[in-house]
Chains A and B, each alone.
Chain A
Amino acid sequence: MSGLQQRIHDAVHGQTQATVTVLSSLLAVEDELGYISKEALEFVAEFSNSTVNDVWAVASFYPNFRFEPPTEHTVEVCWGASCHLVGAMGIFKSVLEASGMGSEGDRPDGRLTVKLNTCLGACSQAPVMAMDHHLAGRVTPESAAKNVTDLLETESHGV
Chain B
Amino acid sequence: MASSFVEIGVEAARRWEELVAGDRPWIRIGTALCGEAAGAFEVATAVEAALEGQGVSAQVSRVGCLGLCFAEPLLDVQLPGGHRVFYGNVRPEDVAEIVSAHVSGGTPVAGKALGYLPGEESDAPLPDGIPDLNQHPMRVWENRIALRNAGNIDPMDIYQYIANGGYKALNKALGSLTSQETLEEVKASGLRGRGGAAFPTAVKWGFLAGNPAPEKYVLCNCEEGDPGAFNDKNILESDPNTLLEGVIIAGYATGASKGYIFIRHGHNGPIDRCRAAVNQARELGLIGENILGSGFNYDVEVALTGDSYVAGEETALMEAIEGKRSMPRYRPPFPAQVGLFGKPTNINNVKTLSYVPEIVSRGGAWFADIGHDTSTGTAILCLSGSLRYTGMVEVPLGINLKDVIYEAAGGVTGGRALKFLQTGGPLGGVLGADNIDLLLDFEVLRGAGAIMGSGGIIAADDTTCIVDLTRSLIAFCQYESCGKCFPCRMGMSHLLEVLERICCLEGTGEDLALMRNIGENMQAASLCGHGQLGFNPVSSALRYFGPEFDAHIIDHRCPTGVCELPRFSPAQSRR
Contacts and interface: CB of A to CB of B under 8 A. Distances in A.
Interface in A120-136: 120-126, 128, 133-136
A136 to B, nearest CB: 6
A121 B69 contact: no
A27 B385 contact: no
Contacts of B385: 82, 85-86, 126
Nearest to A129: B37
A118 B33 contact: no
A92 B37 contact: no
B426 A135 contact: no
A121 B233 contact: yes
A85 B419 CA distance: 11
A99 B555 CA distance: 37
- Interface size grouping (class) on chain A: 35 or more
B546 interface: no
B29 interface: no
Interface in B63-120: 69-70, 72
A115 B384 CA distance: 22
Interface string B420-463: 00100010000000000000000000000000000010111000
B426 A124 contact: no
B269 to A, nearest CB: 8
Contacts of B322: 21
Contact of A125 (B34, B305, B458, B460): B34
A9 interface: no
A19 B233 CA distance: 22
A57 B391 CA distance: 39
B526 to A, nearest CB: 18
Interface in B520-567: 565-567
B267 interface: yes
B36 A64 contact: no
Interface string B138-149: 000000000000
A91 to B, nearest CB: 10
B390 A118 contact: no
Interface of B: 33-34, 36-39, 41, 69-70, 72, 224-230, 233, 260, 265-268, 299, 301-309, 320-326, 382-386, 390-392, 422, 426, 456, 458-460, 464, 469, 472-473, 476, 479-480, 482, 565-574
24 contacts: A17-B303, A18-B301, A21-B323, A21-B324, A22-B323, A23-B304, A23-B305, A23-B306, A62-B325, A63-B307, A63-B574, A64-B265, A65-B306, A79-B476, A82-B384, A85-B385, A85-B464, A89-B568, A116-B569, A120-B37, A123-B382, A123-B390, A124-B34, A125-B34
